Amino acid sequence: MNGKVSQFDETLPLVLIIDDAPEVHALLRSRLATEEICFVEAATGEEGLSLAQYRSPAMILLDIDLPGLNGFEVLKALKDDARTHTIPVIILSAECTPESKVRAFDLGAVDFVTKPFEFTELRVRVRSALRVHQLVQMLAQKAQIDGLTGLWNRMFFDRRWAEEHSRNQRQGHALSVALLDVDHFKQVNDTFGHPAGDSVLQALAKTIVRESRATDLACRYGGEEFALVMPDADVNAARIVCERIRLSIEADVLPRINGRVITVSIGIAGASERVSISAEEWVETADKNLYIAKRNGRNRCESTDMSGRPPLRMTA
């Protein structure tokens, strides 16, 4: 994706400027140079929309008078797209009529700044919009974290798994998913109480994170079940990770349950290449393997290499 980027630093907020006047781009970069932000620039509404979808900026400075799609049309498209609708947009315009302001705010703009700019005011408005974005991001992240274990929750799993599956379909990257279930967990709750059961889940969550790779995504799938998304891992690499997790959990001594050995059963489904199978069928294969692991004695991993295989057939 093209687009002029200034002094890119991925640790800083990215601000997208959509304006057809190069001198406006230069002026904004110069006058906002003291702010801890990076810029990416577009000269048309179409280019700006593509960059917003691809780069996910922290904020957009949007001119109304653009060739092709005008600013109002771009703003509507941004707010109608799930990928971009939470990005705060400040409208930049030489037109300062009440009608323009009302239309901009009705379409979802967070602010309206009139050209020529008063830059002290603009800096304050940019900082305010970035704070709003940071707060929205924090709230969105909190909504995707499991309160007991601190892992990502099922909502996050569903979204990221869909993204990773799509990447496998587009680019053929290796991908695996594992479902982990605590063996005889009901007995733990019945014997030692639910607070002890909670402490077991918390300890297991820490072990899963510690023993998995930095790129893996550990999630609480539900109840005593966990999920591990492993990008760029074929089924053999995934099995190595899962065996390491399984053995580490078995070796842990947990005081809250009088040293009782806790084990997990794990089902894995992975591929080293693009596979003709839906995201749901892929997870179903891992779940089927988890059931096989339980049936074969628990405290074990069962896996399927789906590379080159046709889609899993659903049965009634």
Q: Are 314 and 277 in contact (CB under 8 A)?
A: no
Q: How far apart are CA 275 and CA 155, in angstroms?
A: 24
152: DSSP letter: B
Task: In whole angstroms, give the CA distance from residue 106 to residue 109.
Answer: 7
Catalytic hit among 41, 164, 224, 302? 224
For strand 264-271 and strand 301-305, is the pairing parallel, antiparallel, or unpaired? parallel
Q: Of 112, 101, 145, 127, whose CA–CA distance to 35 is shortest? A: 127
DSSP class of 167 = H
CA nearest neighbour of 182 among 250, 272, 89, 135: 250
Element (H, E) at 50: helix 45-55
Nearest Cα neighbor of 312 from 292, 274, 286, 291 is 286
Residues 6 or more apart from 215 whose CB is under 8 A from it?
Answer: 230, 231, 232
**243 counts as catalytic:** no
Are 179 and 290 in contact by the 8 Å Cβ rule? The answer is yes
Catalytic annotation, residues: 224
